[in-house]
Structure 1
Amino acid sequence: MTRIFRRAAPKRNSSYFARTMFNSLCLASIATLSLGAAPAKAAPAATGPAASGAVTETARLNAWLDAKYDEELGFSPIARSFQGDKTDQARIDDLSESASDRRLAWLRKSVMQLKAGFDRTQLSPDGRLSYDLWVYSYEEAARAARFKRNVFVFDQLFGAHTRLAQVLIAAHKVDEPADMDAYVTRIGGIRRGLLQQLDIAKRNAAAGSRVPRFAYETMIRQARTLVTGAPFTGQGDSAIWTDAQAKVDGLLRAGKIDAATGAIYKATARKALLEEWLPAYQAVIAWFESELPKADAVATGVGKNPNGAAYYAAMLASSTTTTLNADEIHRLGIAEVGRIRQEMEALKAKVGFTGPLRDFFKYLREDDRFYYPDTDEGRQAYIEAATGHIAFIRQQLPRYFGILPKAGVTVQRVEAYREIPGGPQEYQMPAADGSRPGVFYIHLADMRAMPIPQLEVVTYHEALPGHHMNYAIAQELRGVPRFRRFLSINAYQEGWGLYSEKLAKEMGAYQDPYSDFGRLTTEMWRAIRLVLDTGLHAKGWTEEQAIAYFLANSPLTEAQIRSEVRRYIVMPGQATGYKIGMIRIEQLRQKAQAKLGARFDIRGFHDVVLGGGQLPLDLLERRVDEWITESCRAGKAAGSRGC
């Protein structure tokens, strides 16, 4: 088996960079899902005094880490809300730079306490994994702090101007009157948080780190949408006013308040929106508008920015959890593009298309048969089709997984205030208490940017057997410290998402050859990302050069491609984790199959990959290797041959 990766050294945890934009927001992929079954058991572990001591010491470590995680959550009431925890629900995180510095100092101290209080050699294998991951988080945070002036605080996809609104609309639960009191208080907190983020953005822009003009244009529209409609100016109700009224009405229907109290709550919320929310958004919009003439009209990557090359190298290391450099990743991407083109040629011939591949791409982009109508009925048909594919895969899961999620996953259109034509689909995790399911969010503003051949594969990536599995299983693990249930590691989660697209084919999906071509399209998409991300940020490519390469090698629509390329520009390095993570998971599966032979169990392999929570790729390999060793030991003990 050819290995294309080197182990990262020192160890790095991509959770920090995945959370950089929300370092104080702490929105980074937080939610929870229930488990249907316990993780598949490996072969019996060693017994005796030493093993018993390791179990005891690991239990002590887990208790210590849980206490530390509770302390860490004290920095982020927002994180608690996304987990379904109402503790400090009236508060918004301190989003200032000084607060980020205090959190880093706390992490540094916690690692010193960890090393002083525990002997790593006396822990169980899983205890050592927890120990390493905690150190990992600090090392990543410390390294990232060196590049704080390089970060884009606001962008068109994950900026604080839209994500803070999501805290109230999507995460803040209102079951009792006190929850509505907290909601109104939080409106003022959002003002403070937005202005703190704006202060950091101004410093970073002054240092030479500002998003391109297209991002400011989109962000201005997004922010204006959040202050348009009642109780502000404009027609209809704003998204936040609609949400506030709905939550008060929910208390009324539940009999928790009377009509007079409901009217008071609505008046109080309206006052807070006009006096707190509106001025903050006006300040943000004014700054976006002042930045617009200074921003690059010809967009490219961060390599040109002060310290940009070092920043991009750090982002690659974080996003891939390997030491592959930009040139190596670029070459890997070109090789993968060539390989997938050959598979596309074969499938093109299978459907009877006789022209060149570029003409087939054009046919897929332009023929009406491959699109739902750009109407409300067409959008609903898209959502229903995605829901049907989820139902099909759910029936197949027990043959491939021992660990199954209980909570459901729904399909929803992205909220209007943050929807982007051709924008990337996304997954939001369920709440810990089961009050909110997982959500597969779809941008449906432009149905010509949503080809039917790609519908099936994107659904598998975002829902089942993709992100709903990898997040849900991690976040309901028992017997591991809680912080591991909420880690977000780019190469792992996106590598799993891409691996699951191909796994779905093993599970019987893609019966329509055009949907199978859609699967190849999205794999090509991720291979192209390796070329474009490194091209933009390390080789000086422009947005238009990147779009031209994408169009030449993919049937994605130009609207999709432009949105994708703009995503890569504002999120340097992130797009490289998909293909690199997928290849590593496939390599680990091949290794296990080769070592275990007839003893290889696909359910056991998937449970090992998913059953430890999200991990950097080198630690994932260590976990799989331990499973292989234990499986061999069990086989020999039972008199089986092999290994």
Structure 2
Amino acid sequence: MRNYIVTALFLPLFTLAAPLWAETESERLTRWLDDRYEEELAFSPMGLTELGRKQQYDQIDDYSEAALDAELAWQLGTVDDLRERFDYGALEPEAKVSYDYWVYRAERASNQAKWRRHDYVLDPVTSSHTDLPQFMINYHKVDTVQDMRDYIARLSGVARALGQLQARAAVAAGEGIRPPRFAYGVVIEQSRGMITGAPFENEGNPAPLWSDVLAKTAALREAGLVDDAQMQALRDRARAALVDEVGPAYRTLIAWLQQDRANADAQARGVHGLPDGGAYYAHRLRQYTTTDLSAEQVHQLGLEEVARIRGEMEAIREQVGFEGDLDAFFEYVRSDDRFYYPNTDAGRQAFIDETRHYLELIEDKLPQYFGILPKAGLEVRRVEAFRERDGASAFYEPGTADGSRPGVYYMHLSDMRANNRTDLQTTAYHEGDPGHHMQGSIALEREDLPLFRTNVWYSAYGEGWALYSELLAWEMGVYDNPYYDFGRLGAEIFRAIRLVVDTGMHAKGWSEERAVRYMLDNSAIPEASVRSEIQRYLVWPGQATSYKVGMLKILELRERAREALGDDFDIRDFHDLVLGGGSLPLDILERRVDEWIAAG
């Protein structure tokens, strides 16, 4: 430090503001990308909160089309600036990935904007109407009095956002774009749940947001940060925001949904029935698979994978000595009581406890297959009552890079007959380690990548990795129950079935019942879950295809590397490479692996 200061004293004045070392083009790019990503994050106060930051902590995102247009214009402008400022040929390979990835995201956003109104704004899966309260309850931490003031301000933002979502749904409906009628019923029911009970009604249990207000203000009182009078004043302000703003916004939304529901299709159909539906679905496949696969190619891939996996399932049927055919075995696994916990609180807790057991079982084996392990904790929880649905899929929500909030594996347990135990172990590895939790946490914890690469998510990569993790867990030798191994194959054929039914409904005109029957005929999944899944695909076209497409690409790249490197191949290095670059489009991931192979 002393030498640095002495040297600086003799520098010409105009050089004092310049760095005393020469940045490489790659370092300069990383700094530029981080600066731009900070600008991008400023468009989403909620995104900042989800990253554990208390910036714009009193604001809710702007859901209007005008806000989306403004962000897109900014994003496209950054690409022009990027191309003007940097010499691509002077970048190191990893920096070229970052450069190409930034451009890819902007081009993807531009393509998405063309179809924005085709995306259902209000449906049971993307669930903006419940995500807003869920965000307030699970993400807005209240550690100080100012945090609670910000919470109350955000309640006004929730009301405004609900109105913006309703306005966009109404514009789309005016263009003949509506989800199937069943989606209206679910959204209405869930929205009513947000305003059932106190303070929206004179009696009954506290509504979800009011319950959260009571808990968070009580915590401030227990911490000695407010006295009784101050706590009550905060509660009074929150009550006013809920009663005067949030409640009316939900009631207005419900009334519009009830009025428009009659215009929606009573018999659900895929997006082929929307204006320009074929082109829209082709776009959705490109977005979700990050490939150029056509609907017909995806459909055929699904049929081939279903046939292959059925063969492996037959082997397990024979191993356990079941005398009937595979269809009868599906029905046995689907219906026999031995494969279910009771539909009681004790049964639900047993399901959670067994899930935790299998996550602990695999933890000791992870260092044999990974050089980099996540630092963040993982919790297993039941979905909150206000957003729990019978038969709905389990899911994962990431923690923060600093570990202040753990990753959470959520399960819908309201109907235990929709939770077959043969699926339990596999789903734990998909949602937890080595699946979503490991992938998401390792990306968040990387400090040597541009920040955007640690946070961005692509379904083909993320869901592909999670499905690959189910197979990897089997390769790690943690399955000791043939029925649970059958469940693993059931989970894989489930994703292969998705290729068939998603393209069937959205590109080939399949009915909802035909899709339900195909899934029941080729899996042991309980019928309640099957029907819930098929409705999910109807309102979320293309997303269900990303899992198998991504998994097959990762397997293809692993075997390519194994063959090319021979004895020098190390599975830990391969996994660290795949996870260490963040969530990448599949073609960029493939290039990254090929460069690693070439480097030997």
Kindly provide the CA deviation profile for residues 603-629 of structure 1, in whole angstroms up to 9, marking residues without a partner as x. Answer: 000000000001011111111111112
- Corresponding residue to 1:184 among 148, 152, 166: 152
Counterpart of 1:607 in structure 2: which amino acid?
Answer: D
Aligned to 1:34: none
Query: TM-score of the superposition, structure 2-length normalised?
Result: 0.95
1:433 Cα deviation after fit: 3.2
Counterpart of 1:320 in structure 2: which amino acid?
Answer: T
Measured in 1, the distance between the counterparts of 2:28 and 2:351 equals 50
Counterpart of 2:178 in structure 1: which amino acid?
Answer: R
Aligned to 2:406: 437
Kindly provide the CA deviation profile for residues 310-343 of structure 1, in whole angstroms up to 9, marking residues without a partner as x. Answer: 1110010111111110001001100100001111
Kindly provide the CA deviation profile for residues 357-416 of structure 1, in whole angstroms up to 9, marking residues without a partner as x. Answer: 111111111111100000010001111111111111111111110111111111111111
> Is 1:498 paired with 2:464?
no
1:83 Cα deviation after fit: 0.6
- Corresponding residue to 1:568 among 537, 561, 568: 537
1:569 Cα deviation after fit: 0.5
What are the residue-to-residue correspondences of 1:75-90 with 2, within 5 Å? 75-90=43-58
Whether the aligned pair in 2 keeps the contact of 1:54 and 1:123 (CA below 8 Å) is no
Which structure has the bigger radius of gyration? Answer: 2
Measured in 2, the distance between the counterparts of 1:323 and 1:434 equals 37
Aligned to 2:15: none
Measured in 2, the distance between the counterparts of 1:518 and 1:167 equals 33
Aligned to 2:79: 111
Measured in 2, the distance between the counterparts of 1:586 and 1:86 equals 40
Aligned to 2:330: 361
Aligned to 2:456: 487
Measured in 2, the distance between the counterparts of 1:434 and 1:268 equals 32
Aligned to 2:376: 407
Kindly provide the CA deviation profile for residues 181-239 of structure 1, in whole angstroms up to 9, marking residues without a partner as x. Answer: 00000000111111011101111111111111111111111000000011112521111
1:54 Cα deviation after fit: 11
Counterpart of 2:355 in structure 1: which amino acid?
Answer: A
Measured in 2, the distance between the counterparts of 1:407 and 1:580 equals 28
Whether the aligned pair in 2 keeps the contact of 1:54 and 1:122 (CA below 8 Å) is no
Aligned to 2:38: 70
- Corresponding residue to 2:105 among 134, 137, 140: 137
Measured in 1, the distance between the counterparts of 2:398 and 2:439 equals 10
Q: Aligned-residue CA RMSD in angstroms?
A: 1.1
> Is 1:448 paired with 2:417?
yes
Counterpart of 1:174 in structure 2: which amino acid?
Answer: V
> Is 1:627 paired with 2:596?
yes
Measured in 1, the distance between the counterparts of 2:128 and 2:30 equals 33
Query: TM-score of the superposition, structure 1-length normalised?
Result: 0.89
Identity %: 51
> Is 1:595 paired with 2:564?
yes
SS in 2 for 1:441: strand
- Corresponding residue to 1:258 among 227, 231, 246: 227
Whether the aligned pair in 2 keeps the contact of 1:423 and 1:564 (CA below 8 Å) is yes
Measured in 2, the distance between the counterparts of 1:294 and 1:395 equals 55
Measured in 2, the distance between the counterparts of 1:178 and 1:167 equals 18
Whether the aligned pair in 2 keeps the contact of 1:55 and 1:123 (CA below 8 Å) is no
Kindly provide the CA deviation profile for residues 282-309 of structure 1, in whole angstroms up to 9, marking residues without a partner as x. Answer: 1111111112211111111101100111
What are the residue-to-residue correspondences of 1:398-547 with 2, within 5 Å? 398-547=367-516
- Shifted more, 146-155 versus 232-241: the winner is 232-241
SS in 1 for 2:204: strand
SS in 1 for 2:275: coil
Kindly provide the CA deviation profile for residues 136-195 of structure 1, in whole angstroms up to 9, marking residues without a partner as x. Answer: 111001111111221100110222111111220111011010000000000001111110
- Corresponding residue to 1:225 among 161, 171, 193: 193
Measured in 2, the distance between the counterparts of 1:101 and 1:402 equals 42
Measured in 1, the distance between the counterparts of 2:401 and 2:559 equals 34
1:435 Cα deviation after fit: 2.0
Measured in 2, the distance between the counterparts of 1:484 and 1:356 equals 48
Whether the aligned pair in 1 keeps the contact of 2:125 and 2:540 (CA below 8 Å) is no
1:580 Cα deviation after fit: 0.6
> Is 1:320 paired with 2:289?
yes
> Is 1:305 paired with 2:286?
no
Measured in 2, the distance between the counterparts of 1:545 and 1:171 equals 40
Measured in 2, the distance between the counterparts of 1:433 and 1:594 equals 38
> Is 1:194 paired with 2:162?
yes
Measured in 1, the distance between the counterparts of 2:220 and 2:74 equals 39
Counterpart of 1:284 in structure 2: which amino acid?
Answer: L
1:55 Cα deviation after fit: 7.3
Aligned to 1:95: 63
SS in 2 for 1:180: helix
Counterpart of 2:228 in structure 1: which amino acid?
Answer: A
Residue ranges of structure 1 left out of the alignment (5+ in a row): 1-52, 633-643
Whether the aligned pair in 2 keeps the contact of 1:81 and 1:89 (CA below 8 Å) is yes
Kindly provide the CA deviation profile for residues 241-293 of structure 1, in whole angstroms up to 9, marking residues without a partner as x. Answer: 11111111111122211121111111111111101110111111111111221
1:431 Cα deviation after fit: 2.3
Aligned to 1:296: 265
Aligned to 1:158: 126
Aligned to 2:4: none
Counterpart of 1:87 in structure 2: which amino acid?
Answer: Q
Measured in 1, the distance between the counterparts of 2:287 and 2:149 equals 40
Residue ranges of structure 2 left out of the alignment (5+ in a row): 1-20
Kindly provide the CA deviation profile for residues 463-516 of structure 1, in whole angstroms up to 9, marking residues without a partner as x. Answer: 111000111111111111101111111100010000000000122222110000
Measured in 2, the distance between the counterparts of 1:593 and 1:444 equals 41
Measured in 2, the distance between the counterparts of 1:267 and 1:195 equals 24
Measured in 2, the distance between the counterparts of 1:549 and 1:620 equals 33
Counterpart of 1:99 in structure 2: which amino acid?
Answer: A
> Is 1:552 paired with 2:518?
no
Counterpart of 1:386 in structure 2: which amino acid?
Answer: T
1:432 Cα deviation after fit: 3.2
Higher relative contact order (CA 8 A, sep 6+): 1
